[in-house]
A and B are shown apart, each in its own frame.
Chain A
Amino acid sequence: MKRKLLSVILMIAMVTCLFTGCSKGSDDSSKTGSNKAEGSKTSDDPVTLTVWCWDPQFNCYAMNTAGDIYTKAHPNVKVEVIETAWDDIQTKLTTAVTSGQTNTLPDIILMQDSALAKNIINYPDAFVDLTNSGIKFDQFAAFKTALGTVDGKKYSVPFDNGAAITCLRTDILQQAGYTLDDFTNITWKEFIEKGKVVLEKTGKPLLSNQAGSPDLLMLMMQSAGAWVLDENGKANFKDNAVLKEVIDTYVELVKSGVLVEVNDWDQYVSSINSTTVAGAMNGCWIVATVTSAADQSGLWGVTNVPKLSNAGATNYSSQGGSSWLVCANSKNKDVAADFLGETFGGSVELYETILPSSGALATYLPAGESAAYANPQDFFGGDTIYLKITEYASKVPQVSYGVYNYEARDAIGAAITKIVAGTDYDTAIGEAQKELEFQMGQ
């Protein structure tokens, strides 16, 4: 009887023990791989740089390759990649910073460009200012470095290219009597006119888009050098002439049938791979999706995006793309910065190695001059699409996404859904403006 009671008491003791944290293994907390050598550090101390990024065939692969290249010159430095989905990186980052546990972060993280301003401005102490680290920022596409620059301080090393492209099925265009050139350097008006002809003659819409997704609209905004937030970061929906034109164009695309709306990403991919539509317009990373239908090799072409009619309008834009940041808690900040500078910011060899198998296109401009970029691609009818895209990247208008980018995108997404469903423009945009102002007014 007594023994049983004792066991209950023991159990309680165990629980209390767990509470106060005397559990085993607590000493290896916050061990995220970064080397914890204290005191004076010589350049030969072994260093492991941990990195969070998310696509094994793309940025993880690029990071591992960069690690190999760097280790050759600096045998004491190793790079360990921890594959982590982007949403999970954001969750972990937010949790770590707001709870003051920044020692749980790795040395380097990869961040979506759309979240750069939000995270850098909200957590300025969490990242290292790389302005004076020796990284040659002027060798990257200007619009990319601008995204990671806050108050003149440069925090991010640009990685992949999000330059916008239009992928089109040349065989289907041919049936309608067009070539790829007919869709190069054109306006949205021409695009819709020609799209109607293609639809009439072949039954195929040119584009598909996720209903309620603001991606395509934002792509169009940026191509005109305009944005939905003004230079002070205030909501700029009402009386925004470019936005009006963008939305009118989108509604016209849907109404004319040149663009079909689907409900989610899988159906978007499916519509491209199953030839439900004759093209795709997105950041250049969409090439990987397009080429996954190997049986369509030789049938695709790549060109730039149509332009709007306002003064600053261009045929170039950006969608997606990502950049590297060094975390301020890193014990090896200098090594991490040097590593990024020597590889992603200085090694043409790196970009040459990763391009053929990953299709990872650089925003590091000297890489564009390398031989690998000039290789013709059979899938795209022997076109040198990588040269094309690198050229597009250098012409992308610069805009500032701002801290409230996600809020703005959600508001626009809701507005476009309402407008397509029949709500009038002023009502829907008025609501969107109010919604965004509410979220910004905390």
Chain B
Amino acid sequence: MKKRLTMGKRRKLVSWLFILPATLLIAGMSFYPMIKAFLLSFTKGFGKTSEFVGTYNYQRLFQDSLFKTSLGNTFIYLILQVPLMLLLALILASLLNNPKIKCKGLFRTMIFLPCATSLVSYSIIFRSMFALDGFANSVLMNLNMISRPINWLGEIWPARIIIVLAITWRWTGYNMIFYLSGLQNIDPQVYEAARIDGASVSQQFRKITIPLLRPIILLTAIMSTNGTLQLFDETKNLTNGGPANMTISISQYIYKLSFEYSPQFGYAATISFIVFLLVAVLSFLQMKVGDKRD
């Protein structure tokens, strides 16, 4: 028998053991291929014709108008969509956490359903609703809000807005459930006390809900930023990048470069690393602001 470790050292060892399986798996399944892909970004061609080209692919980025368009589009989605969705999810979660609201289970399920709905069916219905002779135009025309039908998916800004709405529609309920589960750890008496002190609903929301949910808000903010910067499904299925590539996202462009076009894996990897850098910087900023222990 070896000498027993001290409690503190033991605990430290155990804590690292708890972390080890997950960390090893991520190292192997994500970091290893990431490093491989990073090396790939300095090459062109593939297989036997692969050759080292230094920073050539990175220089190409500056002449690539499609890359610039896709980068711009993705940022438009990011700026419009993430705050809208997270705020909506927060409001819904706090409403549905209110003990006085009835039929909460039903509302919760209905609001969650979009993210379980298959991409195939919802993209078909979104496209038909926003067709030239679709539901959206007939409602707006009947309400006299527009004088002639809008070609929602055929014009640049309407198409971008539909994409933002579609992502928001799909993922709000998803984010809501993290808030709901987070709210369970807040003692209802905190709200009770605030009410007695005469705090209004919006004050309670700002002064209690948001600060106490901060760790979860940070989580959803990082996840949504990452999700939007890697957006693929919606642009591929709703507009297929059109009209004239004005709604294409970076991930859709990477996919095209890898599997539709004559493959340019090195260049696709280069663009992937730009995405990586962007998400990393944004997440770092979010961590800086949000990841504090009291």
Contact = CB atoms under 8 A, between A and B. Distances in A.
Interface string B240-252: 1011110000000
Given A15-B21, A15-B24, A438-B65, 16 more contacts: A8-B17, A12-B17, A12-B21, A12-B24, A19-B28, A87-B259, A91-B259, A97-B47, A98-B46, A264-B127, A413-B244, A414-B242, A417-B242, A434-B65, A435-B65, A438-B63
B199 interface: no
A429 interface: no
Nearest to B243: A417
Enumerate the 10 nearest inter-chain pairs by beta-carbon distance, A residue then B residue, closest first.
A417-B244, A414-B244, A212-B242, A263-B153, A417-B243, A15-B21, A442-B264, A98-B46, A8-B17, A403-B262
Interface in B242-285: 242-245, 256, 258-265, 267
Looking at chain B's contact residues, is the secondary structure mostly helix, strand, loop, or mixed? Answer: helix
B25 interface: yes
A211 B243 contact: yes
A358 interface: no
A189 interface: no
A84 interface: no
A442 B239 CA distance: 27
Contacts of B245: 410, 414
A100 B48 CA distance: 10
B231 to A, nearest CB: 19
Interface of B: 14, 17-18, 20-21, 24-25, 28, 44, 46-47, 60, 63-66, 124, 127-128, 131-132, 151, 153-154, 239-240, 242-245, 256, 258-265, 267
Interface string A384-423: 0000000000000000000110110010011101100100
A179 interface: no
Given A97-B47, A267-B128, A8 B18 contact: yes
B261 A439 contact: yes
Contacts of A118: 262
A307 to B, nearest CB: 28
Nearest to A15: B21
Contacts, number: 96
A407 B242 contact: no
Contacts of A417: 242-244
Contacts of A12: 17, 20-21, 24
A90 to B, nearest CB: 6
Contacts of B256: 410
Contacts of B46: 98
B258 to A, nearest CB: 7
A122 B63 CA distance: 25
Highest count of chain A CB atoms <10 Å: which of B17, B25, B64, B260: B260
A216 interface: no
B30 to A, nearest CB: 13
Contacts of B47: 97-98, 100
Contacts of A264: 127, 153, 240
Looking at chain A's contact residues, is the secondary structure mostly helix, strand, loop, or mixed? Answer: helix
A421 B21 contact: no
Interface residues of A, number: 42
A15 to B, nearest CB: 5
A261 interface: yes
16 contacts: A8-B17, A12-B24, A15-B25, A19-B24, A97-B47, A211-B154, A212-B240, A261-B154, A263-B151, A266-B127, A267-B127, A403-B262, A406-B260, A413-B244, A415-B244, A435-B65
A407 B253 CA distance: 12
Given A8-B18, A19-B24, A266 B128 contact: yes
A287 B171 CA distance: 40
B263 A122 contact: yes
Contacts of B14: 5, 8
Interface string A96-122: 011010000000000000000010001
A9 B13 CA distance: 12
B151 to A, nearest CB: 8
Interface in A1-47: 5, 8-9, 11-12, 15-16, 19
B6 to A, nearest CB: 15
Interface in A421-442: 421, 431, 434-435, 438-439, 442
A125 to B, nearest CB: 8
A90 B259 contact: yes
A94 B259 contact: yes
B17 A263 contact: no
A212 B154 CA distance: 9
A418 B154 CA distance: 11
Interface string A117-152: 010001000000000000000000000000000000
A217 to B, nearest CB: 14
Contacts of A5: 14, 17
Contact of B258 (A9, A94, A212, A431): A94
A52 to B, nearest CB: 15
A82 interface: no
A19 B28 CA distance: 8
A91 B263 CA distance: 11
A100 B256 CA distance: 21
A212 B244 CA distance: 7
